[in-house]
Each structure stands twice: as C-alpha cells, then as structure tokens.
Homo-oligomer: A and B are copies of this chain.
Amino acid sequence: MTGERDLIDELSRIFGLPPPQVVCGIGDDAAVIAGQGGEYLLWTVDALIEKVHFDLTYMPLRQLGRKALAVNLSDIAAMGGKPRYALLALGWPPERDLFGALELARGMQEVAQETGVTVIGGDTVSSPGSLSMSLTVLGQVKKEELLRRDGAQIGELIYLTGPVGLAAAGLETLRRGLTLTETERTLLLQAFFDPQPQILAARVLARNHLATALIDLSDGVASDLFQICRRSNVGAVVESTLIPVPAPVAEVAAQIGKDPLELALKGGEDYLLLFTSPPDREKALYLHFSEAGLGTPICIGKIVRGNRVWLRRPEATQDISGMGFDHFRLKEL
C-alpha cells in the first residue's frame, strides 16, 4: 500500500460486497442507501483533526464550525442531494476553554440555518493534545436524480462552477503572512475560511439531468478530476488557457514563487463543483444556471479515451493525474 487509494481498496475488500440496498458504498462522496418510495438516503462521515485539517492559530473556532459543516454538506451536494440532518462528535482538549466549543457550535448552527439543515446533536469527549471532530450528515435525493463520479463519457465537456485556487491562496496568505491589498486579502481569506457548499448548483444539475459525473473540489482539480476518470474509465484533457485563475491567486503565486496554475489545480479546498456534461446539453446548462441566478459554468476541457488527466499548456502537455493532497503518501509499506 502506498497511498490513501490503496488503503481504501484494501478496506473495501475486508468489508466485502454490500447488500443491494447499498447503491453506492466506498469510493464516492457519500454512501447511498435505497429507501422507500424511490428516495435515496445520502450519508457521509468526516473526521477533522487539528494540525491536519485546520490550524487554530489562524482559524477562529466559529469559522471552524462553519467550515466543518459546509465541507460535509458539500459531499451531499456532490451526489445531487439535499442535506437534511447533522450529528457532531467533538473531541475537546481538556486544557482548552469550553466556551470555545460553544463558539464552534454557533458557527455550525449559522451554516445549518443558511442551508436548511438540522444539527441534531452528538457526542462530546475529552481529547488530550488536539481538537478533533467528526461530523456525519444525512441527506436525500430522488433515485433518478442521483449523481455519481462514474458516469463521464468520452467526448463530454468538463466544467467548474467557479474560479479555482482562492482557498489555497488564502491559506498561503495566512501561513506566510503575505502582503496584499485589503480587497485581495478579504477575497482569499473568505474563500479559505468560508467555503459555500454548492447545494443549489448541484440540485440544478441533478433536477435537469445536466451532469453525467460530479465531484466536489476538496483536493484540487488535478486530483478530483482523476477520481472521476478512475471511476468512469476515461481520461481527460484540461486546457491551461481555460482554467479560471483569479488575479489574487496569480499574485500569491508570484509572491511565493509558484506556478499560478499549480496553485489553482492542486491547491484544494475550493468546494466548488467539477462535473462532466454532454456537448449537446451546453445550451440547456447555461440556461438553467442563469434561470437559477447562478454564475455561468466554466468549461475547462474534455473527456477523452485513456485513464490519465492531461494539462495542455502552450509549451507542452503534462500528466497531472492525481496530483494533490493524498493523506497517506507518506511512506511505503
């Protein structure tokens, strides 16, 4: 085993084939269980650990609460569904003021109210050393509106619901204390602290059958598009000139001596949607997004034969399959 993917494959083997009412198990954004009356239950769980997923030296606890829930709702959105309920298990360091736990809960409740989700409750335990939490969210989707990672077809177009790299640039700004204009700084930090789960955009895609494969951008385009390719048995070509890299991302990249495209494609934590759609649905796609008051989706490339993700730049074409944040690429076994 050399990475998170291999570990997940091994775990699938141990847990075996699920019964038929489990429509989708390990390997998508959420587990899917067939319910009654053509409704599917969507179910996710996520562990967030201090110093791995967040750093409390620059992340206020209320923001952490907001983000923790938003990220989980994003997983439900990525299946085309509506999030409904959340349960929280909180591991709180005994030396940390308990009022901080209430701040965290307040942030979570803000996002819950914004998205029509009910935080039902959970479990609180003492956690020496670092703050950890796990959130589990239940959502629902009609059987015929379920969106998965595995439906991409050769010839289809690849879209993003917004510009990428803002969250990663925000994190770099915090980490390195970069100097930016106030407007740039606000934009980047907001993207990093307060991702907006794309529930409406995903519902528009699902309801109108506009997407064939969908994932939310947690690890970055390179890594997440590779997941769609793996699951769909296809390859992808991304055009460097089509990637929406906002000016503040380019500015941060320049300051830290990085390629802006790398920051945009590998940064992660954007929590936008990445999806594929047949070319003949392009008009309908733009129309439905516009009618819903959503920004126009941005086409960044095409699904092709093969099993790799290619970035076509003016100077050369580069294999970017799976470049991103793989939690276990730390040692070989």
Contact surface of A with B, Cβ cutoff 8 Å: 1, 4, 7-8, 10-12, 14-16, 18-19, 22, 25-27, 31, 33, 35-37, 41, 43-47, 49, 51-53, 85, 87-92, 94, 97-99, 101-102, 105-106, 109, 112, 118-130, 132-136, 138, 327-328, 330-331, 333
Contact = CB atoms under 8 A, between A and B. Distances in A.
B125 A52 contact: yes
A49 B91 contact: yes
Contacts of A26: 120-122
B122 A45 contact: yes
Contacts of A333: 97-99
B85 A7 contact: no
B85 A123 contact: no
B45 A87 contact: yes
A215 to B, nearest CB: 15
Given A7-B98, A85-B33, A119 B15 contact: yes
B128 A52 contact: yes
Given A14-B106, A105-B14, A138-B43, A91 B132 contact: yes
Given A18-B120, A35-B36, A92-B328, 13 more contacts: A1-B99, A8-B121, A11-B102, A14-B105, A15-B109, A15-B112, A27-B121, A45-B135, A46-B89, A51-B128, A53-B125, A129-B130, A130-B130
Given A4-B124, A31-B87, A125-B327, A132 B37 contact: no
A40 B281 CA distance: 41
B47 A126 contact: no
Contact of A102 (B4, B14, B120, B124): B14
Task: Tell which of A8, A10, A14, A22 has the most Cβ of chain B within 10 Å.
Answer: A14
Given A126-B52, A129-B130, A134-B47, A121 B11 contact: yes
B126 A330 contact: yes
A228 to B, nearest CB: 18
A45 B11 contact: no
A311 B181 CA distance: 68
19 contacts: A7-B101, A10-B102, A14-B105, A15-B121, A26-B121, A31-B85, A45-B135, A46-B123, A47-B123, A49-B91, A49-B132, A53-B125, A98-B328, A99-B333, A124-B327, A124-B328, A125-B327, A134-B136, A136-B136
A176 to B, nearest CB: 21
A102 B36 CA distance: 34
The 8 A-B residue pairs with the shortest CB-CB distance, nearest first, are A26-B121, A134-B134, A47-B89, A136-B136, A126-B327, A45-B87, A31-B120, A94-B330
A93 to B, nearest CB: 10
